[in-house]
Structure 1
């Protein structure tokens, strides 16, 4: 059975570092045996179809292929389209009434328990808020991510040590759901 996936690459094409042209990423996915590869934006969002593998195996193969072809390591997550739809549907904030820049999802490589965030005084960041989901964190930042003190606090490496995390704004979340056919 063919399944549609999204690959979420972390930290590419930012500030001139880890340059990875999207045409080459599409080619790499095709070389790995995946079909219907396409990309969205220049920030490491790709979708593809395959009838073999699971998220972890597909991710490992992609990371190895990127390192071999481009000479640098890139953390990535591969998520099934149905999972992306479930994350979007479970959003605890009124996504339909917010601008895409106000709402973000950070996807994690594994589940994150609330104990990791106990050191944060959530009330100190209001009206900004976050909620945990299934291998995801939803962030409401009414003034956008660039001005978000809560995003800055959540970005501390110590909070999610040992976990791959990559964030997308709500416009990208919705587009990836659409591109995976969900």
Structure 2
């Protein structure tokens, strides 16, 4: 079965550096097949019969052993990403380069949703679901106040954020 894997926080600002060629090699060595990566931010498509939890645990362990740091690992099916893209509440009103998706490792508690909604983000619109925070960063992500770290702090869940093009490409690679 084909899975899409997202690593959180690698190759950002010179921290947690991993070359994609090295990552592909390591993933092949621990038994995954048809491993593909997209850009340098830890986007992977791979095939395996293992469950999502098994995949995440194996990759997390291997990254720790091979590179010496812990990285949150999110595993999703292509169909899950397709559904996220299909249900994007900002698809018709936003410039595509301003659309971001904070993929959530777990569904946030309803009271935590309120914590995020209570804060003021004047140039950003967002919608929260069980597996994604849809973001329309109207003045660009670089100036956005609603960062991945803020989403994690307010919702109290691990998240990793990707842009529209990356999610579209991951679905394409998975097919």
Instruction: Tell whether the 8 Å contact from 1:122 to 1:129 is kept in structure 2 after alignment.
Output: no
Instruction: Tell whether the 8 Å contact from 1:6 to 1:180 is kept in structure 2 after alignment.
Output: yes
1:49 corresponds in structure 2 to: 47
- What SS is found at the alignment partner of 1:125? coil
1:129 corresponds in structure 2 to: 125
After superposition, the Cα gap between the structure-2 partners of 1:177 and 1:153, relative to the gap in structure 1 and judged at 3 Å, is closer
1:94 corresponds in structure 2 to: 91
Matched, 1:155 2:150: yes
Instruction: Tell whether the 8 Å contact from 1:130 to 1:138 is kept in structure 2 after alignment.
Output: yes
After superposition, the Cα gap between the structure-2 partners of 1:121 and 1:63, relative to the gap in structure 1 and judged at 3 Å, is closer
Pairwise CA distance, 1:114: 3.6
Compare 11-20 and 127-136 and name the one that shifted more.
127-136
1:5 corresponds in structure 2 to: 3
Compare 54-63 and 116-125 and name the one that shifted more.
116-125
2:160 corresponds in structure 1 to: 166
1:175 corresponds in structure 2 to: 169
- What SS is found at the alignment partner of 2:66? helix
2:107 corresponds in structure 1 to: 111
1:80 corresponds, among 77, 80, 93, to 77
Counterparts of 1:105 and 1:156 in 2: how far apart (Å)? 11
Q: Which runs of 5+ in 2 are unaligned?
A: none
**Deviation string for 1:88-107 (max 9, x for gaps)?**
11111126x64333111111
Instruction: Tell whether the 8 Å contact from 1:114 to 1:132 is kept in structure 2 after alignment.
Output: no
Counterparts of 1:135 and 1:20 in 2: how far apart (Å)? 26
Relative to the length of structure 2, the TM-score reads 0.90
Instruction: Tell whether the 8 Å contact from 1:105 to 1:136 is kept in structure 2 after alignment.
Output: yes
- What SS is found at the alignment partner of 1:58? helix
Counterparts of 1:173 and 1:153 in 2: how far apart (Å)? 16
Give the total of aligned pairs: 175
Relative to the length of structure 1, the TM-score reads 0.86
- What SS is found at the alignment partner of 2:65? helix
After superposition, the Cα gap between the structure-2 partners of 1:152 and 1:33, relative to the gap in structure 1 and judged at 3 Å, is closer
